[in-house]
Amino acid sequence: MRRRDFMALMGGTAAMGVLPARFGQAQTRAESLRILSEAGPNSLDIIGVGVNRNSIQATWNVYDRLVRFTSKPGPGGTLYYDYFALEGELAERWQVSDDKRSITFHLRRNAVFHDGSPVTAEDVKWSLDRVVSLPVGKPQFATGSMTDPAQFEIIDAHTIKVTTPKPDRLTLPNLALTYPVIYNSKVAKQNATAQDPWAAEWLKSNVAGGGPFKLDSFQPGQSLQLSRNDAWTNGPLPGYRRILWQFVPAAQSRRSSLERGDADIVQDVPPVDAVSLSKDDKLKVVGVPMAGAFQFIGMNNAIKPFDNVKVRQAIAYTLPYKQMFEAALFGRGRPLFGGKPGAPETTEFPQPLGYDTDLDKAKALLAEAGLAGGFETTFTFELSMATIAEPLSLLVQEALGKIGVKVTIVKAPAGQLGTMLQKKEVPFFFEASAAYLADPDYFFRIFYHGPTRWNFGSYSNAEFAGLVDKTRYEPDQAVYEKDVRRMIHLAKDEVPIILLWQPTLDTGMQKSVDGYKYQFHRQLELRTLKRV
Amino acid sequence: MNVLLRRLLGVVPTLAGVVVATFVLTRILPGDPAVFFTSSPSADAATIEAVRQKLGLDQPLWRQFVIYVGALLRGDLGQSITTGQPVLTDLLQRLPASAELTIVAFALAVAVAIPLGVAAALRPGSLVDHLCRLIATAGVSLPTFVTGLLLIYLFYYLAGVAPEPMGRLDPFATAPPRLTGFLLIDALAARNGEVFVSAARQLILPAATMAIFALAPLARMTRAAMIASLGSDFVRTARANGLKWRTIVVTYALRNALLPIITTLGMVFSYMLGANVLVERVFAWPGIGSYALDALIGLDYAPVQGFMLAMAAIFVAINLIVDIAYSIADPRTGLFGHA
């Protein structure tokens, strides 16, 4: 029935079936936003097995969190999330204790859920308990030293304290990520069962929150509709009253709808379309290099000949970066090649590793490694990334041929490279990944350390591993930065993996859409969007 | 009728075989779903194990099979991870979408292909024959997504006469109460003319795209069968006896040419129903083809098995219909005894 109410509000429905039902003719055009994306959410519960990234876009906008990242000006004048500056969302303010081990959050007194009931410390505790109690949520919260429900302590109805065993700089940013959404625990508990104490089944297709938008309807695989929660007081009221989000697999169909003016925002714009659409005067394409995301050439440091640092450097000096960047991404991204070798200038990571195409140097390094005659290897990529990886792998093959390395290209069926990497059986490959938290030590801990498949290079260096452990709880900022610089220096010198670039997140929109904010999760933030 | 009953009973071992085959096939796919679904970089080996347990993939294969068959007997096809819905719900929602599209496209193709094929056979080498050859060649050599995009470009992007190529209904139209899942039928049942028109408008381009593809084999097969039939002795005799042209062509030649045409019809229909993934993608049609493909890419076993099972059942049903159609066209081959 919700959908019908929506229709009644829309007005003028009678003409729609007969006339070419252009969205532009709807009366509430100015207050409605029509979004097209490649796929839709597969769950409205963000903490679950196999939950996809589109689910973030749904949950992000119907739920609130305790804290959120503020905005700073980003490239091209868009808003960009500021990882190092948080503000309260459901929390009015917070205090960090003197020993830096606990954070006390004071909730907004007037905050209410969609059903009108007040947001209390009990709801917050239930929601945070839920994260550490579900197998998928726990490892993420563990990166912020939160593993046990006992760490979340209710002080009074509007105050809650989070305590960690050691001071941890990742605790607070963790509370602003996608998992710790605050549920209306009374509603959720009513729908919990003995086998399912956290109402995971029910929350998959229902919303019990208090965010800036309410869910009107959700048809899996087709569309999702939201309407603004006018009682929302945890930030400036969003600009759009209604959101119609449809899932359209074909990029060409999304594009033509945007060009015809039927869609307001089109997500997942392929690089080649971003280049041509940005030449259209009626539209704009917001392209933001994705923070934390990176595409790279991986080498398994544990097997020959990639265990030899000279071989890895030789390959890093051979790759035709500029052609690869143009052929694969049409230049839509931030290069991580080039730059100066040696000691880093900033503590930011990923940053350029200091390698450019230099075949003489590459040949010399290969000779030093005792492989002047070259060697044979395979280069694997996954077919789901074929549009980028196909031209790229041909360039890699051709370039390495010049230094005597014979490369056979292996195309792994979609969804299977992960398993192969888990077994550590791929010698040389193309892959992409991303980290949510911007701290460099967090990045290294995931991607350059440990036995998981995320240590893409199977990198193992005693000094580096020591620094990864040491920086985890380093309280002294100066010492921390010195250690991080050393880790970056090692990552540049030893190239366990060859970082290529950070791709651009391209979103096409009508000129009238304003207030786009790039969020760390790369999905749409509806709170700031408005029509001008 | 006994024969029909026996044919129906014969379906049981076929479907049982399909159940085993789909189970084994999905299990030998390389790729570990537990690893795939543990996609958070903060996950460690313990998390992967926990996910494996949750998916039931830690059980030995034979136990997984017993559980699967047990659930099947209760009518439970399992849970899809890629859509987050029970597979049965998904299939019931999406099968009518695919079926509606396929039936309309099929009717369109038959309506054009058979007259075209007959006309071509009546005047081999004429303009009509060349036209038939041209359409057939073009239809078969253009991949459906190219035809689809071309139609979208012409009729939506340039001319603006077609609706947005997105889904089964205008985004702001209210779906009629669900009876059959076929929007055209449901809209008629609800006496809602607007929704009917909206659904029909959305249907035209994808149906035309599929029809163009299906035209080729039908038209060519009709032409070939008709030429053979027109050149046969009984037609010559009929002509010599001065029967009416219409009687010769329709009653004698076409009826005798029907057997290969019916075979082709059956094959083309089943193929269209299961293999229209590309059309579904281009038109954002919520059908089963793109559903199964998404599941396969996502290492999501249950929907893939459910899809294969449903398709097998449909193939069996279509084969049965084709057999019955044979015996109507040519009583000698029939399931039913001579009357």
ipTM of this complex prediction, to 2 decimal places: 0.79
Q: Which residue of B has its CA nearest to A179?
A: B40
Residues facing A243 on adjacent strands: A33, A226
Domains and CATH numbers, chain B: 92-293+325-333 (1.10.3720.10)
- Does residue A112 contact residue A231 with C-beta atoms inside 8 Å? yes
Give the gap in angstroms from C-alpha B77 to the nearest C-alpha of chain A.
17
- Average pLDDT over chain A reads 89
Question: Does the beta carbon of B32 lie under 8 angstroms from any beta carbon of chain A?
Answer: yes
Task: Identify residue B5 by its one-letter amino acid code.
Answer: L
pLDDT for residue A139: 86
Q: Which residue in B41, B85, B90 is closest to A446 by CB distance?
A: B41
Which residues does chain A have within 8 Å of residue B193's beta carbon, measured at their own beta carbons? 17
For residues A271-291, average pLDDT: 90
User: For residue A422, what pLDDT band results from cuts at 50, 70 and 90?
Assistant: confident
CA distance linking residue B136 with residue B139, whole number of Å? 5
At residue B168, the pLDDT reads 87
CB B333 within 8 A of CB B259: yes
Position B278 scores a pLDDT of 85
What average pLDDT does the structure give for chain B?
Answer: 85
Nearest-by-CA chain A residue for B29 = A416
Q: At B335, is the pLDDT very low, low, confident or very high (cuts 50, 70, 90)?
A: low
Mean pLDDT calculated for residue range A333-337: 93
Q: Which residue has the higher pLDDT, B276 or A190?
A: A190
> Which of A25-29, A192-196, B131-135, B205-209 is predicted with the least confidence, judged by mean pLDDT?
A25-29
Instruction: Provide the pLDDT for residue B274.
Output: 67
CB contact under 8 A, A252 and B45: no
Q: Which among B36, B166, B195 is the nearest to A248, CB-wise?
A: B166
| A358-387: average pLDDT | 91
Greatest mean pLDDT range, A122-126, B21-25, B114-118, B287-291: A122-126
CA A386 – CA A325 distance, rounded (Å)? 15
Instruction: Report yes or no: B181 at the A interface, CB cutoff 8 Å.
Output: no
Number of Cβ pairs < 8 A linking chain A and chain B: 171
How far apart CA B65 and CA A294 sit, in angstroms, is 41
Please tell me if residue B157 touches chain A, with a CB cutoff of 8 Å.
Answer: yes
pLDDT score, position B270: 81
To probe the interface with A, which of B27, B36, B42, B93 has the most A CB atoms within 10 Å?
B42
The tens digit of pLDDT for each residue in B229-278 reads 888 888 889 888 888 888 888 888 888 888 888 888 888 888 887 667 88
pLDDT tens digits along A127-159: 999 999 998 888 889 989 999 999 999 999 999
Cα dihedral A488, A489, A490, A491, rounded to 10, equals: 50
Specify the pLDDT at position B32.
77
Q: Quick one: pLDDT at residue B42?
A: 66
* pLDDT score for A59: 96
Contacts of A36 in chain B (CB under 8 A): 166
Are the beta carbons of A532 and A510 closer than 8 angstroms? no
**Residues of B in Cβ contact (< 8 Å) with A418:** 31-32, 35-36, 39
Give me the helices (H) in B152-247, please: 183-189, 193-230, 233-240, 245-246
* Cα of A361 to nearest chain B Cα, Å: 35
The angle, 0 to 180 degrees and rounded to 10, between the axes of the packed helices B255-274 and B193-230 is: 140
Chain A touched by B98 (CB under 8 Å): no
**Over residues A76-105, mean pLDDT:** 92
Report the distance separating Cα B117 and Cα B216, nearest Å. Answer: 10
Residues B90-143: tens digit of each pLDDT: 899 888 999 899 999 999 999 999 999 999 988 888 888 998 888 888 888 888
User: In 3D, which of A514, A502, A76 has the Cα closest to residue A278?
Assistant: A76
User: For chain B, how big is the Rg over CA atoms in Å?
Assistant: 24
Q: Is B214 exposed, middle or buried (0-12, 13-18, 19+ CB in 10 A)?
A: buried
Please answer yes or no on whether A18 and B197 come within 8 Å at the CB atom: yes
Q: Tell me if B195 and A447 make a contact (CB, 8 A cut-off).
A: no
Beta bridge partners of A152: A162
HEC-encoded secondary structure of A349-362 = CCCCCCECCCHHHH
Supply the pLDDT for residue B334: 55
Q: Compute the CA torsion angle B269, B271, B272, B278 (nearest 10 deg).
A: 180
Lowest mean pLDDT among A165-174, A443-452, B328-337: B328-337
| Residue whose C-alpha is closest to residue A246's, from B286, B39, B259 | B286
Q: How big is chain A by its Cα radius of gyration, in Å?
A: 25
Residue-wise pLDDT tens digits, A492-522: 999 999 999 999 999 999 999 999 999 999 9
| Residues of chain B with C-beta less than 8 angstroms from the C-beta of A146 | none
B contact test, residue of A419, A420, A442, A456 with most B CBs within 10 A = A419
Contact B36 A222 (CB under 8 A): no
Question: For residue B47, which residues of chain A lie inside 8 Å, CB to CB?
Answer: 135-136, 138-139
More confident residue, A60 or B231: A60
Rounded mean pLDDT, B164-172: 82
Domains, chain A, with CATH or none: 44-214+518-531 (3.90.76.10), 293-504 (3.10.105.10)
- Alpha-carbon distance of A204 to B192, in angstroms, equals 33
CB A369 within 8 A of CB A310: yes
Strand partners, A509: A265, A284
pLDDT at A280 over 70: yes
Whole-number Å distance between alpha carbons of A182 and A65: 6
What is the DSSP code (8-state) at residue B40? -
Helices (H) then strands (E): counts for chain B: 15, 0
Q: Which of B144, B166, B294 to mutate to test the interface with A (most CBs of A within 10 A)?
A: B166
Q: What is the pLDDT of residues B54-100, one digit of tens each?
A: 778 888 888 888 888 888 888 888 888 878 788 998 899 888 999 89
Choose the closest CB to B81 out of A39, A50, A413: A50
Residue A31: pLDDT band (50, 70, 90) is confident
Which is more confident, B311 or A128? A128
